[in-house]
Structures are given as structure tokens and as C-alpha cells.
Structure 1
Amino acid sequence: MKGRTIILDHIQDREAAALMVDGKLEDFLVESDAPAPGTIYRARADRPVKGQGGMFLTTPDGPAFLRQVKGLSPGQMILVQVTGYAEPGKAIPVTQKLLFKSRYAIVTPEAPGLNISRSIRDEDERDRLLEVAHEEMAESAYGLILRSACAGAPSEEIAEDIAAMLSMATQVMEDTGAETEVLTEGDGPHLLAWRDWVEPADVERSPGGFERLGVLDALETARSIREPLPGGAFLFIEPTRALVAVDVNTGSDTSMAAGLKANMSAAKALPRALRVRGLGGQIVLDLAPMPKKDRRSFETALRAALRADPEETVLVGWTNLGHYELQRKRGRIALSEVLK
């Protein structure tokens, strides 16, 4: 199966969306019982955490944790947005910097100004988009980011998207309630697929699409700890309570360059493998043996692969034992937590 295909279906009674590229599972989104990123609460400040500069909050979905708190007193009502998924038993991560995000537009109440994605370089196209932005934002004090999906899109659709996000932002930001409440829900898998998978693709909506198009078979691999690599090498990806351990193996290749080849393949494959499995947090790579002089080439390949990945990942660096560490945002729910 060549090309890009988006499959919208359900698995184990949960809404889910899969992106297949040339017959390979490139991305997967699945509904969970946890609050989805993007959910906005009217929350109550509960108690500060000394030494961490944060505060626990009370929300309708349980305790949340807000970092970098200034001028916030216990009992005060504030608006916060869920930024990711919490580890089991931990508080929901939230921020006070609210974003109202859709396919074409992101309204930023705390960051005024009109901005266009840097990936749109054509000056005539940028001028067209600025005209649409100015017309829709009018005298609003809120900021706006026009996303890369705007390139070539009809002006009417972009304007409609901006207006919808601006209306939602205005309604939420002018909220004056006095009790904890969910003000907006985060987007589900099908809406996220429409919002974020914007490159041209066939769309399959008929029930049973996961089985017909090979998604279920690909998920079997994703739910295991073994991830095959080109050339016979493979990864073992094992989540623990503290971190995600990734072990790179050369397989049957016994050549002098086997370690370097396996590590370069791992660098290219790792973002997709973590994304599909929904893994984040601390990632520790136990690489195959290779000369220290090749470490920079590995880092360059890994950085290039992560550049196209939607989840924010920080390259921390090498440890004294020769492991490589990453810190990855928990923007996805782990498959192991939702698919049994």
C-alpha cells in the first residue's frame, strides 16, 4: 500500500486514528480516560510546593500541578490548560498560557501579534494570509499564529477557522465563574487527525478500516518491546516506572561497522517508535558499540529525525557510561495504558 492513508476507526470501544505511510504505521492516536491535552479548566489554587516553585490545583478531574507560580494564593481561581498526560498516580500537568488551536489557526490570548508559520516562504502567500488575519482579528488584543496548513488553503476556510478559535478564546478568557469546571475538552483522535495530519492523504472512515488496512498488525509490533530496524538490527524499547530504556542491537551483522549502522538506523526510527507507542519522559539509549568519533554523526541524525516529530524532545547528551539521554514531553497516552 503506497502513499499516505488516514484511517478513522475504533479499537476496544475507543475512538482512534492511524496514519499509514507506504504501508507502515507512522502515527497513532487513541482515546483515553485521562483528560486530553488542550482541556481547559477553571481551577482552584490549593497548596504551594516549597522548593519547586509550583502549586497543586484542584480541578474537576483531580489534582493538577502548575509550575513557575508567581503571585498565586491558595483559594484563588485561575484558568489552566492541560499540556500532557500524567504518569499513573501523579497530578495533571497544566499551564496558564492558554492556546486555542485548530487546523489553520492558533489564537494566543497571552501573546499578542500576528504571525505566520516560517515554513510558508512565498511572499505573495504570506501577504494573502496577513490580509485574512487582519480582517478576522480586527481590533482584538489576542495574538494569532497561522499554521503551515494555511499554504494554498481557501481564504474562506482560514477565516472561518480563525473566527471559531477567536470566539472560543473570548468566551473562555471572559469566564467569571467561581467553582472548578471543565470549560473546554481537549480534541479527540479524529479531530486531532484532521487538525494535525495536514499533508495530502486518502481518508478511510468505514468501520473495520484498522483490520483491512493493516493497522491492527502494526499495533501488535508497537505493543511489543521489539522494534525491527533495516539491515536486521533491532531495538528493545522497555518502559519502566522511572524511564524508558532503549537497547540497540546489531542483530546478525558482525562487520566492523555494524554498531554505527545500527545506531544510525535507530536514530532515524526512534521518533516514530516512541510516537506510536505513546512514550515520553526520560529516555535512555544504550547504543551499539561504536567509536567516540562517530557520536556527532549519531547526534546529527537523531536531531534531524526529531525535527519532524510533533512531540517536544530535548537532547540531553551522553552519560559517563556512554548512554545517550533524552527528555520527551508526555504528549501521548501510552498504548500499554489503554489497549489491553
Structure 2
Amino acid sequence: MKGQMIVLDQYAGGEAAALMVDGKLEDLYLDHDAPRPGAIYRAIADRPVKGQGGMFVKTPDGSAFLRQVKGLSPGQPILVQVTGYAEPGKAIPVTTKILFKSRYAIVTPDAPGINVSRSIKDDDLRDTLQGLAKAAMPEGSNVGLIIRSSCAAADMDEISDDIETMVDLATAIMSEAEGDSAEKLTEGDGPHALAWREWVDPAQIETEDGSFEVTGVADHLAELESAQVPLGAGSSMYIEPTRALTAVDINTGNDMSPAAGLKANLAAAADLPRHCRIRGIGGQITLDLAPMSKKHRRQFENALRTAFRTDTVETALVGWTPLGHFELQRKRDRLPYHEALS
């Protein structure tokens, strides 16, 4: 099927959302009982970590770790927001830089100012959005606003309502900073809310129960049970998470021609961001590439950089190791697929 389709359903006992593009699974959100990224707590400072400039804080969902703290004393209440999923056995990662994200706007408490996405190039539209944002913000408000690129083709009334709703939410939550006990103030967005917030391009939307089966999403999810990802022409890559890192092994199959290694590596580079999204891969990623000449490394790096440029998850291309592997570091903003189903 050509075009985009958003499928909202239940899967493995939890809420789920899938984005299909031209019949291929392009993105996936699965719910879990772990604290969601974006959840906001009034936490209680617990104990500092010497040498790391951080502090453990208490939340209703367990211990969390806050980096780069200054002037924070044990027992002091503080508002924090979950930034990603915790690695097994580790504390929840949180930050004090709280953001309120929605489909059209991002509210930034204690950071006044209105900024329009640079991807919106039309000067008249930028001026219109600036004026709309100012009108929707209450006078004397100490919050800032980022107008997202999704506003380029959106209805102005919807944008205005969205801004007002998020500013009201931010004002209410930020007023809860003081208190004697830890408390969860927001849950963070679930898969269906994330789909509405992040997948803004025109798409067919399926919401009936059993939509994953009818649309073929369930078949694509079944393929994720295998570590092997076909790349065409007999080549493939194996994506195998371990406790320390995710190993990606790229093979040419039976093709032994001089160009086979480069072709397989370029194919893997093009498809790797998609598989990182739908498999929930984060943290350290090590690529064991198919054999290719060192003179082709720059071409591979450029292909990998191009592929990740449009990816929604922050990923750093770290570089080459002495053994000829290529390393990446990716934000853990999703649970690994198998953990999400457990």
C-alpha cells in the first residue's frame, strides 16, 4: 500500500501505535509499566554522587539520577522530568530542564521568548505564528514557547487552543514544586498520544480493535523476533542487543565480489535508523561492517550521517575503532522491543 498509515491498537496487553509508510513499518510506540519519558515528578533530593556532579533523588517510582546539580541539598523538593528509559538495574534518568511538548508547540518554563521552527521559511507565516503565540500567552507569563514545524499546514485555531492548553498545564505543574513528599505530577504521553504529537504528516488513520492484524502491522512485529534483517542481493545484518551494547553484524552472504562489502554496508546504513526506532535500540551501538576498502569509509560515514539526519532520536556518530568497527551512541527514549512486551 502506498502512502502513510497510522494504526492505533492494543498489543501484548498494552497501548500501541504503528506508522506504516508504503507498506513498511517505519515507526513504533509500545507502552510499558516503566516510567514514561516526559513524566514529571516532584522529587526529593536524596544523596549526592561525588565526582560525577550528580545526585540520586527519590520518586514514587523509585530512585532517579539527576546530573549536574548545584545548590541542591538532601531533603529538598525539586521538579524533574524523565528523559528516557533506565537501563536494567539503574536509576531513572531525569532532568530539571522541564519541557511540555504537544503537536504544535513546546512550552519552556523559566525560559521566556517565542521561537518559530527554522523549517518554516515563509516570512508572512512566521509573523502570523508569532502574533498568534503572543495572543495565546498570558501577560506576565514566565514561560517560553517553541512553535513546531507542524504548524506550517495547521489550522490557526487549533494551534491557538493547543498553546493555551499547554501553557495552562505548565503553569499548574510548575506551581507544585513545593511539598514534603515525592509525587508524580504527570504520567508522560502514551503511544496514542505520542502518535498524535509526533506523526504529523497526512496519513490514513486506523483505530478499530484488531487493526494491527488487519493492516499487517502484526506480521511486521513478528519479523522483529528475528535478529536477521535482509538487505537485498543476499546480504543481511544481524542486530543483537547485549547488556553492554547492541552489536550489528553486516554480511554479504554468498556474494564475494569486490563491491559486495560496500553495497551491503551502504544498505545497512540506510535501514539502520528505522530498525533502531522499531526495535527500541538505544545506548552504545557497534557496527561490525562487511569487508570494504578503507578508502570507502568516508562514503559509508556520509551515508550513515544522511540516514540519521532525519531520525527523531538523538544519535551521535562516534567514529571508528582500532579494529575497524564503527560506533554510535543513541538516546534511550524507548524500551527495547522485547522488554516492552515483557
Question: Shorter-chain-normalised TM-score: which range?
Answer: over 0.9
After TM superposition, the structure 1 = structure 2 runs for residues 47-62 of structure 1, keeping only pairs within 5 Å, are: 47-62=47-62
Aligned equivalents of 1:198, 1:109: Cα separation in 2: 24
Match of 1:297 in 2: 299
How big is the shift at 1:138? 4.1
How big is the shift at 1:230? 2.9
Q: Could you say what secondary structure the match of 2:233 adopts?
A: helix
Q: Could you say what secondary structure the match of 2:265 adopts?
A: helix
Deviations 1:97-142 (A, max 9, x none): 0000000010001322111111111111111111111111243221
Match of 1:161 in 2: 162
Match of 1:239 in 2: 241
Aligned equivalents of 2:233, 2:125: Cα separation in 1: 43
How big is the shift at 1:196? 0.2
Q: Could you say what secondary structure the match of 1:229 adopts?
A: strand
Match of 1:196 in 2: 198
Match of 1:110 in 2: 110
Q: Could you say what secondary structure the match of 1:151 adopts?
A: helix
Q: Could you say what secondary structure the match of 1:311 adopts?
A: coil
Match of 1:25 in 2: 25
How big is the shift at 1:212? 1.1
Match of 2:120 in 1: 120
Match of 1:277 in 2: 279
CA contact (8 A) 2:110 2:142 kept: no
Q: Could you say what secondary structure the match of 2:253 adopts?
A: coil
How big is the shift at 1:46? 0.5
How big is the shift at 1:333? 1.0
Aligned equivalents of 1:144, 1:72: Cα separation in 2: 27
Aligned equivalents of 1:45, 1:177: Cα separation in 2: 12
Which 4+ residue blocks in structure 1 deviate beyond 2 angstroms?
none
Aligned equivalents of 2:223, 2:255: Cα separation in 1: 22
How big is the shift at 1:174? 1.4
Whichever residue aligns with residue 327 of structure 1, its letter is Q
How big is the shift at 1:193? 0.2
How big is the shift at 1:152? 2.0
Aligned equivalents of 2:216, 2:241: Cα separation in 1: 25
How big is the shift at 1:148? 0.7
Aligned equivalents of 2:194, 2:125: Cα separation in 1: 25
Q: Could you say what secondary structure the match of 1:261 adopts?
A: helix
Match of 2:339 in 1: 337
Match of 1:149 in 2: 150
What is the RMSD of the two structures over their aligned residues, measured on CA atoms? 1.0
Deviations 1:231-285 (A, max 9, x none): 3211100000100000011122221110111111111100001110001000000
How many pairs are equivalent?
Answer: 340
Deviations 1:27-55 (A, max 9, x none): 11010010100000000010111111111
Whichever residue aligns with residue 284 of structure 1, its letter is T
Q: Could you say what secondary structure the match of 1:255 adopts?
A: coil
Select between 114-123 and 138-147 the one with higher mean Cα deviation: 138-147
Aligned equivalents of 2:337, 2:77: Cα separation in 1: 34
CA contact (8 A) 1:282 1:328 kept: yes
Aligned equivalents of 1:192, 1:16: Cα separation in 2: 10
TM-score after normalising by structure 1? 0.98
> Identity rate of aligned residues, in percent?
65
How big is the shift at 1:328? 0.3
Match of 2:175 in 1: 174
Aligned equivalents of 1:230, 1:155: Cα separation in 2: 45
How big is the shift at 1:209? 0.8
